Chains A and B, each alone.
Chain A
Amino acid sequence: MIPFSKSLKLSVIALSGVTFGAHAAQAPKQIDVKAMSKTVENVVVPLPNEIFGALNKLGSVNWREYVRTEKTSNFTERPRIALLLGTVIADGFIAVQAEDAPAVKDIGNRVLNLSKFIGVGNSIIPHAKAITEAADKRKWESVRQELDRTQNSVQQAMNEVHDEKLSQLVSLGGWLRGTQVLTSVVTKHFSPDGAELLHQPDLLVHFQTQLQGMPEFNVPIIREIQTALGEVRPLVDAPKISPDSVRRINDITTKLDSGIVTRE
């Protein structure tokens, strides 16, 4: 994978003019999606701030309420570190929403330490530095981009040493923390549009399938997440997601988050 930053340096052709005179050929107005036999299996898990951005447009959110500053436990089990790493990166996105520079910098350091614990620290050092610098200058868009790069670099480094399953747990940890915060916000100020942001049944299937392929990770939290996702899936697969469902998902994800960040 080539990160976006590299591409900027690789600017081969001035593309700003490409759209001039370009138009889309007539595409069929309707297709049979069930007949699409050639489907790419790779799933790009949305970033927490992709959801937070949509949530922000529904009304102002007091993001400071959700910034987590207390230190999390240290673990030795790699699957637990991977889950925690994803959660902490999601905390970074929350701190950016809150425009809380000290919290962002603290989270940058925690991400670096966790990456070192799991053996991919070297790939994160430049990102941690860039996060700190951008937070100092309050360049929030740069911090968001750098957090995405951080997660991507962690996962790439894991994939390179064939730790793809740990890489998947990083995404899952981030998604769980993002969903916990989303449901907290929507529980407090319910709106059908806010609840609709939880309509992610295919992502639930994706995570469930991945967890089924991890029987070797014999840590209780992984099994707890697996069971919990089975409970969440029908709740998010409804045409309208009710306030009760949002509250239930919040209870489930809060319990899981507590299990991810604290030692039993």
Chain B
Amino acid sequence: MSHLLMNGFTKHSLRIALCLAVIFALPRGAAGTVDDAQSFALQAAEPYVKEGFQVREDYWGGDLGSGEKKAVRQQLFKGNEYWFWLGTEVERAKVSVHIYDSEGKLAEQPDSWEKGHFAAAHVIPKATGSYFIIVAVEESPEERTHWALVYGFR
């Protein structure tokens, strides 16, 4: 059993090491894309798939300057539970995501979180209708920072 665990751990560590090596091998000034940002948003979503969330293939994306924010409008259904995951490929950036109902009232659950270039907001809609998801680049060393927002439901 411990051998199996070690095997899995070793394989996982090797994969991470390889990927990190690839990341650090990239030119430091290399410009990312919204697709890169989406990869990070999807990584944030990954642990939630095991909890039964279906992550949509479609997503929103763009770029923002430091301190800028944008609103995404989305139809949500009462009875479902949603997570929205935001990511950027700019690792020293800080991003945030928050959810408001159609009246502008904060609608997210307290377990919503943000950590560096990842952030996530959790909502269990009290009513069916349009919600506003506010994405922001709080800080970034880049002039423009790509962002991508994906969502999942169960």
CA distance A11 to B134 in the complex (A): 26
CA distance A196 to B100 in the complex (A): 19
- A161 adjacent to chain B (CB < 8 Å): no
Please give me the residue from chain A that is nearest to B109 by CB atom. A24
The secondary-structure label for the interface of chain A is: loop
CB distance from B19 to the nearest CB of A (A): 4
How many interface residues does chain B have, given as a range?
35 or more
- B72 adjacent to chain A (CB < 8 Å): yes
Beyond the given pairs A4-B45, A22-B113, A197-B79, 6 more chain A to chain B contacts, judged by CB atoms under 8 angstroms and listed by A's residue number, are A25-B96, A33-B132, A39-B73, A145-B54, A196-B127, A203-B75
CB contacts (< 8 Å) of A29 on chain B: these are 105-106
Tell me if B19 and A12 are in contact (CB < 8 A): yes
CA distance A11 to B22 in the complex (A): 12
CB contacts (< 8 Å) of A10 on chain B: these are 19, 39, 43
CA distance A144 to B56 in the complex (A): 10
Tell me if B79 and A27 are in contact (CB < 8 A): no
Tell me if A13 and B16 are in contact (CB < 8 A): yes
- B10 adjacent to chain A (CB < 8 Å): no
Which residues of chain A in 15-54 are interfacial with respect to chain B, using CB atoms and an 8 Å cutoff?
15-16, 18-19, 21-25, 27-33, 36, 38-40, 42-44, 46-47, 49-51, 53-54
**8 closest Cβ pairs, A-B complex:** A54-B79, A7-B42, A22-B115, A152-B57, A22-B113, A27-B98, A54-B77, A36-B71
CA distance A200 to B72 in the complex (A): 16
- B12 adjacent to chain A (CB < 8 Å): yes
CA distance A196 to B106 in the complex (A): 21
CB contacts (< 8 Å) of B58 on chain A: these are 1, 44, 152
A-B contact pairs, 19 of them (CB 8 A): A1-B38, A1-B59, A2-B39, A10-B39, A10-B43, A15-B118, A19-B113, A22-B113, A24-B113, A24-B114, A32-B104, A55-B79, A141-B52, A144-B54, A148-B54, A198-B128, A200-B75, A201-B130, A202-B130
CB contacts (< 8 Å) of B96 on chain A: these are 24-25, 27
CB distance from B151 to the nearest CB of A (A): 8
How many interface residues does chain A have, given as a range?
35 or more
CA distance A10 to B154 in the complex (A): 24
A3-B57, A7-B39 known; A50+B77 contact, CB < 8 A: yes
CB contacts (< 8 Å) of B115 on chain A: these are 18-19, 21-22
CB distance from A98 to the nearest CB of B (A): 18
CA distance A2 to B38 in the complex (A): 7
Which residues of chain A in 57-106 are interfacial with respect to chain B, using CB atoms and an 8 Å cutoff?
57-58
Partner of B153, one of A4, A50, A152: A50
- A193 adjacent to chain B (CB < 8 Å): yes
Tell me if B75 and A46 are in contact (CB < 8 A): yes
CA distance A163 to B132 in the complex (A): 29
CB contacts (< 8 Å) of B3 on chain A: these are none
CB contacts (< 8 Å) of B7 on chain A: these are none
A44-B74, A193-B79 known; A36+B132 contact, CB < 8 A: yes
